[in-house]
Amino acid sequence: MSFNPKHILGIKNLTADEINFILDTADSFKEINTRQIKKVPTLRGKTIVNLFFEASTRTRTSFEIAGKRLSADTVNISASSSSVVKGETLEDTAQNIEAMHPDIIVMRHSASGACDYLAERLNCSIVNAGDGTHEHPSQALLDAFTIRQHKGDIKGLTVTIAGDVAHSRVVRSNIHCLNKLGANVRITGPKTMLPPGLEKLGCEVFSNLNDAITGADCIMMLRIQHERQGKTLIPSLREYSRFFGLNDENLKLAKKDAIVLHPGPINRGVELSSSVADGKQNVILDQVENGVAVRMALLYLVAGGEKLQDE
Amino acid sequence: MATEKIEILDTDGVNRALTRIAHEILEKNKGVEKLAIIGIRTGGAHVAAQLTEKIREIEGEGVSHGTIDVTMYRDDLGARSNLAVGHTDIQFPLKDCKVVLVDDVLFTGRTIRAAMDAIMDIGRPDSIQLAIMVDRGHRELPIRPDYIGRNLPTARNEQIEVEFNDQNKAMAIHLFRA
């Protein structure tokens, strides 16, 4: 098959075949990252603007490295150092950037739907690097890639996602992605952090962590997002850690060969005990490594294809 | 209009051509030392595997063997729909190797250009030679094969196909004329 997306805005509108095509493409790009000369000429002459309105280390660096290894020219703009602080609107900022003819804008924004909004208004391709509490497609894809790397087929696996579900775009993208690939998705977290209607997305909801991870193949721990919530959702971090933190004891309830994922940055001692964060079962650094390959695949697929031919 | 299918080489013919190429490679390179056979995905990779096997039979000694995917190095990306990117698998250092690049059909030479760039990005071989099952002409770049299974002048609208069986062994070569 061939897959020529103009934008990557979310997982929701992708088919299982398209997701697998992205993962297969990423698999081929992965080899480049282990070479001595980590560069191929695939996107030579393309310009990629990383437009980040929210803080990010992993995602922005990963997209930047991905673009550079494909020989694209990458430019980083972060909100704090841009005209946004002078009061420019998102659309004005984006139109000004587009006037410089980039081929792809990779954007992170605190408003859900910001990427869709720009995709309707600009001519260049948009890749969503996280919009509000909506989607974070590249993260879900690198999670799926990492699970596939460790477990082979994703179909039939039980994946538990635990933590601050209400504020997490990673969860939404992951639920769509894992469901489409045939995994059984379990969700758990404090009641105040579980939005209503999760069952409708096709997952099982648990009120306590131990039940949710019993027999699981993969456990995905989420970060408590201090920046997106008041202090009202949980009484204290210590209590959260006690009931929803993963440690050596409760990890034994999962399958023996279960893997632990985390989108980063981790809050050591909160959602993950230090021993689990440094343990053999965690694949957090694999996730980061695979992130570059997955993002190379996304940039390649978005930039390639007939649609971008300049006439 | 019906397409005419003409057999250029049958299974025995393919086999003899491969055996001859294997001997020529060994003769020119004086054995297998520092020799590396690298096939271009997908047809060339199958032919390269067969050549590697032949060389082993003749010399009684194995030879380094790899596969390269040139999609990332194509000069027409963006002018056509996205192609699946295949795996490049070269598990040995290329430094000082005498690389024999293998493809099934040589046409414009653009694939070979891409493959040479891809190899140079992975390492710096001592030399690169080119082995081809069928040279059908119409070169657009200054590229010339060192080992040729069959020289076959063709018209541009004709097609050459190397037929492989389920074990990826080349069985026959056909020309299709519209």
Q: What is the pLDDT of residues B66-75, one digit of tens each?
A: 999 999 998 8
Query: Residues A225, A271: one domain?
Result: yes
Nearest CB partner across the interface for B73, out of A29, A41, A300: A41
d(CA A60, CA A107): 9
User: Quick check: B73 and A40 CB within 8 A?
Assistant: yes
B82: in domain = no
* Structural domain for A188, as ranges: 137-288
Question: Is A121 a residue of the active site?
Answer: no
Q: Kindly report the CA angle at A278 between A276 and A284, in degrees rounded to 5?
A: 90
In order, the DSSP letters of B36-60 are EEEEETTHHHHHHHHHHHHHHHHHS
pLDDT of residue A242: 92
Nearest CB partner across the interface for B82, out of A3, A70, A309: A3
B11: in domain = yes
Q: In this structure, what CATH number is given to the domain that contains residue A264?
A: 3.40.50.1370
Q: How confident is the model at residue A308 (pLDDT cuts 50, 70, 90)?
A: very low
Query: Residues A142, A279: one domain?
Result: yes
Q: In this structure, what CATH number is given to the domain that contains residue B173?
A: 3.40.50.2020
B41: in domain = yes
A10: in domain = no
Nearest CB partner across the interface for B87, out of A31, A41, A304: A31
B94: in domain = yes
Average confidence score pLDDT of chain B: 93
Question: Is A59 a residue of the active site?
Answer: yes
Query: Residues A90, A206: one domain?
Result: no
What Cα–Cα distance (Å) separates residue A28 from each residue in A5, A98, A143, B69, B89? Answer: 19, 31, 17, 9, 10
B39: in domain = yes
B80: in domain = no
Q: Does this complex have an ipTM over 0.85? A: no
A310: in domain = no
pTM score, two decimals?
0.90
A80: in domain = yes
Mean pLDDT of B122-134: 96
Whether pLDDT at B15 is above 60: yes
Residues of A within 8 A of B117 (CB-CB) are: 41
Write down the catalytic residue from A6, A12, A58, A68.
A58
A8: in domain = no
- How many domains, in total, are found in chain A? 2
- How many domains, in total, are found in chain B? 1
Residue holding tokens 């299709």?
B176
Which of B77, B80, B94 best tests the A interface by mutation, with the highest count of A CBs <10 A?
B77
Question: Is A108 a residue of the active site?
Answer: yes
In order, the DSSP letters of A157-169 are -EEEEES--TT-H
Residues of A within 8 A of B79 (CB-CB) are: 306, 309
Question: Is A167 a residue of the active site?
Answer: no
The DSSP output letter for A82 is S
